[in-house]
Structure 1
Amino acid sequence: MIGRITQLFPAWALLFSVIAMVQPTLFVGLKTQIVPLLTIIMLAMGVSLTPSDFVNVAKHKIAIGVGVLLQFSVMPIVALLISLAMGFDSELTVGMVLVGSVAGGTSSNVMAYLAKGNVALSISMTAISTLLGVVLTPFLVELYVGQSVDVPVGAMLISLVKIVLLPVGLGVVINVVARKHIEKISSILPLISMAAIVIVISIVVALNVGNLKTLGPMIAIAVILHNSIGLFAGYFCCRLCGFNETISRTVAFEVGLQNSGLAAALAMKFFTPVAAVPGTIFSVWHNISGSLLAGYWAKKGDVNDSVKTIKP
């Protein structure tokens, strides 16, 4: 039952977004809760991880290296290029680059599972990119938009340590010392994370009702392009590098599916509500595109590789 509810995340996100559009007063007062909600999501992620997930890096170091390189190079650069091509102002450009500069989202783990990818690799990549993102995200934003917008790199770095690093680290510790107890509640952790991100999306939507009505379609096009290029680059770069189908599918999701809820929260905290709109729309769309692609690959099944397979 819980699994079915969480699988309908895109539907819940759309439903609550509509409610927030119609009745924004229901969520506007919760704007101070965005960061605490993100902290809860990161804690839940940490609780789902074990030290072995980080040890797995050694087993898949090449694949993880390729994925992380694409994650923090292709995604922010493409976000900037799309913003420039579509003539976005500085606020929307910051929002797009933030989405491109954060780590991969935890939904990639679910999509990798559904698409018959390598789930252990997916979890390891998410964990590593999340930790690296604490440092890389502020500096990438400064690199690409710092000349047009004041980017508080130091404050953002400290905030990411508090929102991401500490909760994830605490979650891993809790999982180690209370493993038996965590196993009893592990099934509800995705539900808690989903509920938290849906509320975050609703808050940002409520704060941007006017902007979404005027800018929504254009931002949606930008987000769809950004997400599609990330999925395409992740998959085909891996195929060109000689990775097998399973690894390529996994890296595609890691590169294309961003922790856009975190991007929206950072935009709200350090920039403007408008800058949070790309992250909000991305949060909804990447789950839809990820689900569709995972369903396609699952039906397609495993294929005989014509490309030479190299050690991941």
Structure 2
Amino acid sequence: GVTVEDFKNLARNPKLILVGILSQFVLLPLLTYLMVIVIKPQASIALGMMLVAACPGGNISNFLSHLAKGNSALSVSLTAFATAMAIVMTPFNFQLYGSLYEPTANILKAVSIDPFKLFKLIIIILGIPLVMGMWVRARHMKLATQISRVLKPISVLAFVMIIVVAFAKNVDVFMTYIHRVIAIGITHNLIALALGFAVAVLFKLSFKNRKTLALETGTQNSGLGIILVFSFFDGLGGMAVMVAFWGIWHNISGLTLAAIWSKNKPE
């Protein structure tokens, strides 16, 4: 498990956090935008890709990093940092790249998103639970552990239900674009995983940290994405299906990669 010493070591090397943020919030949204320009998918699918890239890393990355024998302390820290930064960076990146590509910009203009409402919803979904969780854990560690045990299965069930609803409401869209959604989703996720690993190599991080950064960048909080799709875009078909597929696929790819890496001898 994660120890206090793990975080002390991490604090001595802030480069790890900075590299993670660079990969997650700067390069992934940029590469996603470039991918959209190259493949020119349907506007709603493109917007779904941009939303996924704008979201922070998902909590399952912590489990995947542990399974892959990566740096668990780094994974937990990056998820916490990314969640806090997402309050600002998710709406910023989504609006920025969505506005730069004309087909998606037309959707954003038609929907006319209120930036303050988007910001407020992300604070409610991410910010408040993060602050409350840190407060309870700092003062009542035993209670925090008990609450975590109860909430984990509930959150997994809620996520599954959200994905099911997203597909159920857009069966026609999914069946029409099934091959395109699957091909784009898998390629997009592969790019995210490769990006995280490549950035870690570029900054000469250890193999342990390379694995962690790859899984952090390739695992997104698609639950947040789906909630935003239904809150602001009325469950827009291509967008909802793209985000929902990502929510399924990144678990499959992440578990597969982690299982392969778990066979490596620890450093």
Aligned to 1:308: none
1:157 matched to 2:110? The reply is no
> Is the CA contact 2:52–2:222 (under 8 Å) kept in the aligned structure 1?
yes
1:177 matched to 2:177? The reply is no
1:146-173 per-residue CA deviation (whole Å, 9 max, x = no partner) reads 2512343222111111111012211222
Aligned to 1:64: 17
Q: What is the correspondence of 1:197-212 to structure 2 with a 5 Å cutoff?
A: 197-212=159-174
- Aligned AA (1:113): H
Aligned to 1:94: 47
Cα 1:295/1:244, change in 2 over 3 Å: same
Distance in 2 (alpha carbons) for counterparts of 1:187 and 1:165: 20
- Aligned AA (2:42): D
Structure 1 residue 94 displacement after superposition: 1.4
Q: Name the % identity.
A: 33
1:76 matched to 2:62? The reply is no
Structure 1 residue 82 displacement after superposition: 2.7
1:35-76 per-residue CA deviation (whole Å, 9 max, x = no partner) reads xxxxxxxxxxxxxx9x99988763341011011111012221
Aligned to 2:204: 242
Distance in 2 (alpha carbons) for counterparts of 1:206 and 1:299: 38
SS of alignment partner, residue 80 of structure 1: helix
Structure 1 residue 93 displacement after superposition: 1.6
- The equivalent position to 2:216 in structure 1, one of 221, 240, 254, is 254
Aligned to 1:288: 252
**Unaligned runs of at least 5 residues, structure 1:** 1-48, 304-312
Further displaced range: 166-175 or 242-251: 166-175
1:167 matched to 2:129? The reply is yes
- The equivalent position to 2:262 in structure 1, one of 295, 298, 303, is 298
Aligned to 1:46: none
Distance in 1 (alpha carbons) for counterparts of 2:13 and 2:68: 19
Cα 1:146/1:272, change in 2 over 3 Å: farther
> Is the CA contact 1:83–1:222 (under 8 Å) kept in the aligned structure 2?
no
Distance in 2 (alpha carbons) for counterparts of 1:95 and 1:217: 16
> Is the CA contact 2:133–2:144 (under 8 Å) kept in the aligned structure 1?
no
Distance in 1 (alpha carbons) for counterparts of 2:26 and 2:74: 20
Structure 1 residue 185 displacement after superposition: 4.8
Count residues with an aligned counterpart.
255
- Aligned AA (2:260): Y
Distance in 1 (alpha carbons) for counterparts of 2:211 and 2:151: 25
Structure 1 residue 177 displacement after superposition: 3.0
Distance in 2 (alpha carbons) for counterparts of 1:233 and 1:145: 21
- The equivalent position to 1:127 in structure 2, one of 75, 80, 83, is 80
SS of alignment partner, residue 266 of structure 2: coil
> Is the CA contact 2:64–2:258 (under 8 Å) kept in the aligned structure 1?
yes
Distance in 1 (alpha carbons) for counterparts of 2:8 and 2:165: 37
Cα 1:69/1:197, change in 2 over 3 Å: same
1:264 matched to 2:217? The reply is no
Distance in 1 (alpha carbons) for counterparts of 2:12 and 2:153: 30
> Is the CA contact 1:53–1:123 (under 8 Å) kept in the aligned structure 2?
no
- Aligned AA (2:219): L
State the TM-score, normalizing by the size of structure 1: 0.76
Aligned to 1:9: none
Cα 1:54/1:242, change in 2 over 3 Å: closer
Distance in 1 (alpha carbons) for counterparts of 2:234 and 2:30: 21
Further displaced range: 168-177 or 249-258: 168-177
1:279 matched to 2:253? The reply is no
**Unaligned runs of at least 5 residues, structure 2:** none
Structure 1 residue 183 displacement after superposition: 2.6
Distance in 2 (alpha carbons) for counterparts of 1:60 and 1:107: 24
Structure 1 residue 214 displacement after superposition: 0.8
Cα 1:136/1:53, change in 2 over 3 Å: farther
Structure 1 residue 263 displacement after superposition: 1.0
